[in-house]
Chains A and B, each alone.
Chain A
Amino acid sequence: MAWFKRNKENIQTETPKQDVPDGMWIKCPECSELMHRKQWEANSYLCIKCDHHFRIGSSEYFKLIIDEDTLKEFDKKMKSVDPLHFTDTKPYAKRIDDTIKKTDLHDAIRTATGEINGKDVVIACMDFDFIGGSMGSVVGEKISRAIDKAIKNKCPLIIISSSGGARMMEGAISLMQLAKTSAKLAKLDEEKIPYISLLTNPTTGGASASYAMLGDFNIAEPKALIAFAGPRVVKQATGKELPKGFQKSEFLLEHGFIDFIVNRKDLKQKLSQLLGLIS
């Protein structure tokens, strides 16, 4: 017998979590500025005051970069199959199905053809929302096919990375995706087809130790975490204080691993300019 049973219906104490709907206000996690969603969208999903680069997904990047009505997504429905029958606190198969429902994505990457100011490209964009942008068989295969398409169509390849690394639930198979994608990129290289890698927050582990670092041009958004081992692991392993700005885009630029840093507002124009120079 519940003593405190609510006897009046229709009282809701909590609203279900949801994406910020139209007409709502967004708060910048860096400077606390409040802005309207429409302002934020019109500002390339940046804070209108401090330029903080909010994490966005493939839909937003495609909208920002690719000319209207030119996007053709391929391998849309490709899905992971849990080759190891992996279970941690939750079976991997269920984790996949739940994430598909939650995110409306099929895996952590989407691939498409499209145009940037009239120039044909093949583009692959990762979604961090899908199990931390982890790279398993599907990410490996979709990148591999995107490279095949770039070779076949003789057009530049752009990969936008946002990934915590290889997907543990696929064990060594996910590790092999580093080899699979890099071997294909070597083919692309031999065909002399340009490859631009855009590194966004975060790009770490297996993604950075393969395709994300292998661009003819490695470019990054400001203040993105880019690393092999993440800062927590480095701190734990070395017991040392980490230098200021460690593993951020600006740090990588300083150490020679990034060609330039690009503000998201200028992204399309920069890509177009670069492609124009080398085509």
Chain B
Amino acid sequence: MAVNTMLEFERPVIEMEQKIDELRKMSDTLDLSNEISKLEARLKEARKKIFSSLTPWQIVQLARHPERPYTLDYIYLMTENFIELHGDRYYGDDKAVVGGFASIDDQTVMIIGQQKGRDTKSNLYRNFGMPNPEGYRKALRLMKLAEKFNKPVITLIDTPGAFPGIEAEERGQAEAIAKNIFEMSRLQVPIIVVIIGEGASGGALGMGVGDRILMLQYCWYSVISPESCSQILWRSWDFKEQAAEALKLTSQDMLDLKIVDRIVEEPEGGAHRDHNQAAQLLKAALLEEIEIVSKIKKDKLLDNRVKKFGEMGYFKD
């Protein structure tokens, strides 16, 4: 796919790819197969080297890559028959949250996620993926519909945080998030949560309680963004790399801490390099997970869910 935005550490890889492309174009008249395969080997090596030793801050940058697939990309690439449902029935329709019924390999699911925009105009429309209270209330309304019609819920998490706006506070951002967490912990149908980009604090968890928690490889999940953490604890914006390190926010950290159950691999170089492959990898994982949770009896499923979160925490008695 065409590359419009390049992160600094991606540069060597992308430049080599462009070189290979150029050589391919010249191959009509010249035999360059030797050179090409040599370069391809070097490319593979370089990519492996860079992506096997990413720093937490580089992972945060990948999670925010402007060409990364977003919720609606995954929905269109993984599911069929998607019917988007709008509104919280109390106040409005939050464009930072999308959701509706869809079929994934003939199985109906309720799929809901935070939605970012691709450019300034669509980002303003989507509020940069930062939900207002009505976004959380819409999500809960849709989950209750899924419960009513006995369909599993899939939530896709990708938010820099719940919106810290005046109106958001007036309309009860805290209450909206608290209520979602509360209700999701006892929703009578299976819930599979996937962190597909940024998992920022309460804004993420407000749609992030479930039976199985998945996380794409190059995402972050924590209680605060590295920038805000730097600002609060170091009293300066300059310690974001250290904060990213200290917060232990990568998918591997989350798996080690048992906060997520499974890491979903991304295409070589990250999900933004191949949307379709990223979606197919996630779809395959989701189908396996749906099968796992569908086999568990309802009472057991709900007990396990409360127990799962009940066991999170480290302390000395």
Q: What chain A residues lie within 8 Å of B208 (beta carbons)? A: 179
Interface residues of A in 204-260 (CB under 8 A from B): 205-206, 208-214, 226-229, 233-234, 237-238, 240, 242-243, 246-247, 251, 255-257
Q: Does A138 contact B (CB under 8 A)?
A: yes
Shortest Cβ distance from B316 into A: residue: A79
Q: Is the CB of A186 within 8 A of B182?
A: yes
Candidates B164, B174, B305; contact of A183 at CB < 8 Å: B305
- A168, A189, A209: the one contacting B233 at CB < 8 Å is A168
Residue pair B314, A238 in contact (C-beta under 8 Å)? no
- A137 and B315 within 8 A (CB): yes
Interface string of B178-192 (1 = CB under 8 A from A): 110111011000000
Do the beta carbons of B174 and A213 come within 8 Å of each other?
A: yes
Distance to closest chain B CB from A170 (angstroms)? 7
A209: which of B206, B232, B253, B315 is its contact (CB, 8 Å)? B206
Determine whether the beta carbon of B185 is less than 8 Å from that of A179. Answer: yes
Structural contact, B178 and A210, CB atoms closer than 8 A: yes
A163 to chain B, nearest CB (A): 12
Would you list which residues of chain B between 145 and 190 have a CB under 8 Å from chain A? 162-166, 168-175, 177-179, 181-183, 185-186
**Contact A234 B233, CB 8 Å, known A84-B246, A173-B257:** no
Closest residue of chain A to B311, judged by CB? A180
Of B10-18, B69-77, B222-230, the segment with at least 4 beta carbons within 8 Å of chain A is: B222-230
Q: Does A185 touch B at the CB level, under 8 Å? A: yes
Residues of B contacting A58 with CB < 8 Å?
A: none
Q: How large is the interface on B (under 10, 10 to 19, 20 to 34, 35 or more residues)?
A: 35 or more
From known contacts A83-B314, A144-B310, A257-B172, infer whether A182 and B185 are also in contact, taking CB-CB under 8 Å.
yes
**Are B312 and A214 neighbours in the complex by a CB distance under 8 Å?**
no
Question: Is B286 an interface residue when CB atoms closer than 8 A count as contact?
Answer: no
A39 at the interface (CB under 8 A from B): no
Q: Mask for A143-184, Cβ within 8 A of B = 1, else 0?
A: 010000000000000000000001110111111111110111
Contacts A185-B182, A228-B177 given; does A166 touch B169 at CB 8 Å: no
A273 at the interface (CB under 8 A from B): no
Tell me if B299 counts as interface (CB < 8 A to partner A): no
> Is B9 interfacial (CB-CB < 8 Å)?
no
B178 and A180 within 8 A (CB): no
Tell me which residues across on chain B come within 8 A of A170, comparing CB atoms.
223, 314
Contact of A182 among B165, B182, B232, B314 (CB under 8 A): B182
Q: Is B201 engaged at the interface, CB distance under 8 Å to the other chain?
A: yes
Minimum CB–CB distance from B260 to chain A (whole Å) comes to 9
Question: A186 vs B182: C-alpha distance in the bound complex, in angstroms?
Answer: 6
* Pairwise interchain contact A228-B249, C-beta atoms closer than 8 A: no
Q: Is A229 touching B234 in the complex (CB atoms < 8 A)?
A: no
Q: Which residues from A are CB-within-8-Å of B229?
A: 168
| B97 adjacent to chain A (CB < 8 Å) | no
What are the 3 closest A-B residue pairs judged by CB atoms, nearest first? A229-B164, A137-B313, A183-B185
Would A255 and B170 count as touching, CB distance under 8 A? yes
A31 in contact (CB, < 8 A): no
Q: In the complex, A48→B235 CA distance in Å?
A: 37
Assess the A177–B312 pair: CB atoms within 8 A.
Answer: yes
| B166→A184 contact, CB < 8 A | no
B202 close to chain A: CB less than 8 A: yes
Q: Can you list 10 A-B pairs with a CB-CB distance of less than 8 A?
A: A78-B317, A80-B314, A80-B316, A175-B222, A183-B306, A184-B306, A184-B310, A206-B201, A237-B164, A240-B166
Assess whether B221 is interfacial by the CB under 8 Å rule: yes
User: Which of B169, B172, B185, B312 has most chain A Cβ within 10 Å?
Assistant: B169
Query: A140 and B313: CB pair below 8 A?
Result: yes
B165, closest chain A residue (CB): A238
The segment from A20-28, A63-71, A86-94, A119-127 found at the interface with B is A86-94
Contacts A81-B315, A180-B312, A228-B168 known; list 9 others, CB within 8 Å.
Answer: A81-B316, A88-B246, A138-B315, A171-B247, A171-B249, A183-B209, A184-B310, A189-B182, A237-B164
- Given A88-B233, A185-B182, A255-B170, residue A171 in contact with residue B223 (CB < 8 A): yes
Does B143 sit within 8 A of A, measured CB to CB? Answer: no
Q: Which residues of A have CB within 8 Å of B36?
A: none
Which A residues are in CB contact (< 8 Å) with B314? 80-81, 83, 137, 170, 173
Mark contacts of A84-107 with chain B using CB atoms, 8 A cut-off: 1 yes-contact digit, 0 otherwise: 101111000000000000000000
Counting CB contacts under 8 A, is B309 at the interface?
A: yes
Report B57 CB to chain A, min CB distance, Å. 15
Q: Are B205 and A179 in contact (CB under 8 A)?
A: yes
User: Considering only CB atoms, which chain A residue lies closest to B187 in the complex?
Assistant: A186
* A214/B178 in contact, CB under 8 A: yes
Q: Report B249 CB to chain A, min CB distance, Å.
A: 7
Which residues of chain B are within 8 angstroms of A171 by Cβ–Cβ distance?
Answer: 222-223, 246-249
Q: How far is the CA of A55 from the CA of B175 in the complex (A)?
A: 24
* Chain B neighbourhood of A141, CB < 8 A: 313, 315
Q: Which of B60-114 contact A (CB under 8 A)?
A: none
